[in-house]
Structure 1
């Protein structure tokens, strides 16, 4: 209930900040909304790594990314006017997806390289946050001075400031609301995550299955609520930016977990199942990028081909993990 109520209000504040700061919905969705809704996942992954459960830690991070990508398909179902990827076309969201694929490649490179670590931390764990910040800078620059833009159609919802009467809230009040909502949604999400872990542990399933399904979905509930709320409020670019940008931030979970894991490089604790999840996530993101480029107006069930394929890939991936 807390996530549902606060998530809607958090989306409104983020939308207003996007206009007030001039950062735009895509960057705000990735930097603020995506970061705040990722708080429960960070706590779960870091705690699992610190207590000697690297498989659970990594599976939670990776499983959250795949679940949140599937949530974007659900948001597409909620938006009935056109395909969400058509209406929310922007260079920033395309850049976010490209950044995500690039960041996902780094853990695979680390796992395939010699088990080097400095103070128990793999060099890739230092590279990941730097690459993420540089990526956000490039995305912000691309939005400020785009070299190309999507064709505008009647169904396209551009990222434009809201009318002045809705912008009378001060900067200070917006930041205060953001901080309060972040604390509330982070605490509520953590409680849901711990409940999911407790239930999952009693089922006797593997840590990969537990992390990839139970804790991943429970810690990703804020993303589902905020993305659907953003769609209903007409902030379509914010909705896509929250999911895709939040996914890029979630890759950093592995770097944080590597610091907390004291038995060497956490990347070399990757199992074949987790490598499968990384490859699946890259494939799902690639399909999403194709959808953002193709910009199909209407498709099966009034959603685009990319949303249909993403849901099939996600459900198929879960089936493979549980076989």
Structure 2
């Protein structure tokens, strides 16, 4: 594949992923109301996993083809990009600060789970290299942490021990009657499956085109993965969150990002299994560690915003959104210069 064709192919696939993400939003909102699971759980677990398929395929493909830096940077860079996407969703919601209006105990727990998983990855990178059948044992612990955290979040929704103060700007997750009329659960599941297949194929070919661009353009694998492939494969999350805000499903918009990001950490587990030589955690360089630390910083800022709950900021955009975008831009300039 030539460099020019790879760039065109990359852009086309990015558009395809974005369109598929748009179609997922309505179905997810309907499914949350139809099943009674709620927007936070459906957005954070089911929708988060489905919109992550392209990113999984990209990281696994890159790792299998001997590009661990690209695989690692795509996984963690996607989390950073998606966290900043909430700032864009905040801009799209003109009534008030999105983090104030979408207050949810479930979303806070998802954010804490995400920081726990990212911090665990830092611990793995600092420890000695250990592999079992070519896989680092910590990869299995990451899966266990995610499962335990998800169960904890599910039980917290059923029996919450903490509840945010309600204001006139708070939008609660109340089932929409229209979403429960003339909607078949079977048709929703089929629609999800078909969209998942489209996103998976797009993710595979995005990885292929990214490897060509990295090889022929002089762009480092770290920067390519941390910015370009991660943003391209994360477009469904951006589209879903903005569309959800437009539909008034604010909890779904936030949980899709935070909950989906927790699942995205497992990209490293899958990539570690696909990498044929050694541990992906120890194939990473200082550039990947930098992106990881930046991501933890961004998520921490978001959690502070969710707890502080500023009603109105500059142009009704919260201080946390402005700070996240600023840190993201400065961080990636520094990454490019590294």
TM-score range relative to shorter protein: over 0.9
Q: CA deviation at 1:182?
A: 1.9
**CA 1:105–1:144 in structure 2 vs 1: closer, same or farther (change >3 Å)?**
same
2:281 & 2:207 partners in 1: Cα distance?
A: 23
1:163 paired residue among 148, 152, 177: 177
- 1:267 counterpart residue number: 281
Deviates more, 1:268-277 or 1:177-186: 177-186
Task: Return the alpha-carbon distance in structure 2 between the equivalents of residues 130 and 164 of structure 1.
Answer: 38
1:49 aligns with 2:46: no
1:74-132 Cα shifts (integer Å, max 9, x gaps): 11101101100011100010001000000001111111111111111111100111111
| TM-score, length-scaled by structure 2 | 0.92
Cα distance 1:284–1:15, how it changes in 2: closer, same or farther (>3 A)?
same
The number of aligned residues is 323
Find the counterpart in structure 2 of residue 279 from structure 1.
293
Query: Which one is further off, 230-239 or 182-191?
Result: 182-191
Q: What is the match of residue 74 of structure 1?
A: 88
2:25 corresponds to 1:15? no
Q: 1:267 to 1:6 in 2, by over 3 A?
A: closer
When structure 1 is superposed on structure 2, of 115-124 and 181-190 the one drifting more is: 181-190
CA drift of 1:9 comes to 2.5
Q: 1:134 offset after TM fit, Å?
A: 1.1
2:254 matches 1:240: yes
Identify if the C-alpha distance between structure 1 residues 262 and 195 changes in structure 2 by more than 3 Å, giving closer, same or farther. closer
Q: Secondary structure at the match of 1:117?
A: coil
CA contact (8 A) 2:22 2:243 kept: yes
Consecutive unaligned residues in structure 2, runs of 5 or more: 1-14
Q: 2:112 aligns with which of 80, 98, 102?
A: 98
Deviations 1:46-82 (A, max 9, x none): 1111111111110111111111111111111011011
Asked if 1 retains the 8 angstrom alpha-carbon contact of 2:57 and 2:200, the reply is: no
Query: 2:12 corresponds to which residue?
Result: none
Aligned-residue Cα RMSD (Å) equals 1.5
Task: Check whether the contact 2:51–2:234 (CA below 8 A) recurs between aligned residues.
Answer: yes
Q: Distance in 2 between matches of 1:221 and 1:189?
A: 11
Q: CA deviation at 1:229?
A: 0.8
Q: Is the 8 A contact 2:84 2:328 kept in 1?
A: yes
Unaligned 5+ residue runs, structure 1? none
Q: Are the aligned partners of 1:3 and 1:225 in contact in 2 as well (CA < 8 Å)?
A: no
